[in-house]
Amino acid sequence: MNNQTYWDKRYSQGRLWGDNPCPSAVRSFPHFTRLGVKNVLVPGCGYGRNAVYFALQGFDVTAFDLSNVSILHAKALAAEQSVDVPFFQGDLFDIDFLRGKKFDAVYLSYVIHLFLKDQRESLLKRMTEWLKDNGILTFSCISTSDPHNYGFGLEVEPNTFVKHESKPLHFFTGDELKKLLEPDYRILEQKIHTQTENDPSGESEELQLWFVAAEKCTK
């Protein structure tokens, strides 16, 4: 099953985690405000709950996701909230997608840990290319300090485990994040936070996630 088919299937169940924004989106807001952010790119936007949140705060938002199904949900959510967000279907690794576009901020929720090492590095490079100098990147990712999820499944790379449908999950350490960002960014905030997600069946799971805010360095 390829990635698009997998996510189309997941999102066919509806708005899996509710309509409220992720804690990382709320944590991003004061950073965006302080740095005078006007426009925000939300790659891997899912069904749009975070993109819609940013639009409601007054930012000019562009958002995309690999799943056509999720984009349909996102457009419906934006309409319900009476905000104008251009949602696109697009691939994070398509080098021609949004070529030449630059943004004040890029927000990436629960995405970067879904790939193996080479793809994670390529993904960060894409985010950096989309940011203006002194722009801000904020994101959330899973952590090695999560006792309920770390270490389960087949370890295919250091701290990377496969649990479900051949999908890797990479658990980051704090030092690894610093090393990953150091060449191009100045870290503004790096903290563990708890995110509780409810699925349509009513079951909930507490996740221990990193929140990172980092300013792109001027070359």
Domains of the chain: 3-141+173-216 (3.40.50.150)
CA 108, 95, 100, 45 torsion: positive or negative?
negative
* Tokens (6 digits) for 218: 């001027």
List the one residue out of 201, 216, 207, 215 whose CA is nearest residue 16: 201
Nearest-angstrom CA–CA distance, 57 and 81:
12
**pLDDT reported for residue 136:** 98
Q: How far apart are CA 102 and CA 52, in angstroms?
A: 20
Q: Is 71 helix (H, G, I), strand (E, B) or coil?
A: helix
Residue 198 has what pLDDT?
A: 58
pLDDT, tens digit only, all 219 positions of the chain: 577 887 878 878 778 788 999 999 999 999 999 999 999 999 999 999 999 999 999 999 999 999 999 999 999 999 999 999 999 999 998 878 888 899 999 999 999 999 999 999 999 999 999 999 999 999 999 999 999 889 999 999 999 999 877 789 999 999 999 999 998 999 999 999 988 875 445 567 788 999 999 999 986
CA distance 151 to 171: 9
pLDDT at 204: 75
